[in-house]
Amino acid sequence: MSSGEENDRSVKHVAIIMDGNGRWASHRNQPRAFGHRKGVDAVRTAVRAAGNLGVKYLTLFGFSTENWRRPSDEVDALFDLMKRFVDADLEKLHREGVNVRIAGRRQGLSDDLLAIIERAEQRTAENDKCFLTIAFNYGGRDELVRAARQLAQDVAVGKIDPDAVDEAAFSAYLDTKGMPDPDLVIRTSGEHRTSNFLIWQAAYAELVFLDVLWPDFSAEHLQQALNEYASRQRRFGGVDAA
């Protein structure tokens, strides 16, 4: 993920709901796991394109807390792909100055997967050229509950004054602490919902829904979404300057 030209309207943070792997595979009479494997190639495409287009922060929704309801063989395949992605791409990402972070609940993950997550984060912790966050075992409501629980514990032991709790203080307890909120949230596959993704952080994000299945996602699709973003006016509750 290399730095590139400044993107339109200075989009610092793009978040993507990667949807459509299963349908992509089904259209080709292949098992869903085949679609997930092709989806990893699209991840690489998105990371490279984001860097070339000047997007400093990229967050990808990889596995949700609700995905545990899927068949166990599909869940196992998704976990295996996470391991393979880190093994295959970590050193390249590190050489290119990418800081890798995994957002989501760690509880319930296997020891070997936790070790891979920790290796990825520790290996790239000092990098600051680009920031890649993978939301894995992540749910927006779960994140808020975990943050509220930790905040309540810190209040109870006197670590933080209740009167000092504001939006900034609460944000410091989220998985995305230290990151700017997403300017743009993209969802592929034509579905028009955010599915419990970054529900605090994306309160004022622009939403773009693309009618493309994730394995077919290209740099041109990212540029299309950035162009759509540039055509909109962000008022944050205010009014147009005109």
What does the pLDDT profile of the chain (242 residues) look like in tens digits? Answer: 544 455 556 899 999 999 999 999 999 999 999 999 999 999 999 999 999 999 999 999 999 998 888 888 888 888 888 888 988 999 999 999 999 999 999 998 999 999 999 999 999 999 999 999 999 999 999 999 999 999 999 999 999 999 999 999 999 999 999 999 999 999 999 999 999 999 999 999 999 999 999 999 999 999 999 999 999 977 656 666 55
Q: Amino acid identity, residue 184?
A: L
| Sign (positive or negative) of CA dihedral 12, 209, 72, 105 | positive
To the query of whether residue 128 is one of the catalytic residues in this protein, the response is no
187 near 210, Cβ under 8 Å? yes
Q: Find the DSSP H helices in 53-71.
A: none
d(CA 62, CA 24): 16
Considering the candidates 7, 41, 52, 67, report the single residue annotated as catalytic: 67
Long-range Cβ contacts of 73-81 (<8 Å, 24+ apart)? 73/33, 74/32, 74/33, 74/36, 77/32, 77/33, 77/36, 78/36, 79/110, 79/113, 81/36, 81/37, 81/39, 81/40
To the query of whether residue 89 is one of the catalytic residues in this protein, the response is no
Among all chains, which residue has been given the structure tokens 């494997």?
A: 37
Task: Give me the CATH code for the 8-139+182-230 domain, please.
Answer: 3.40.1180.10
Considering the candidates 7, 19, 89, 127, report the single residue annotated as catalytic: 19
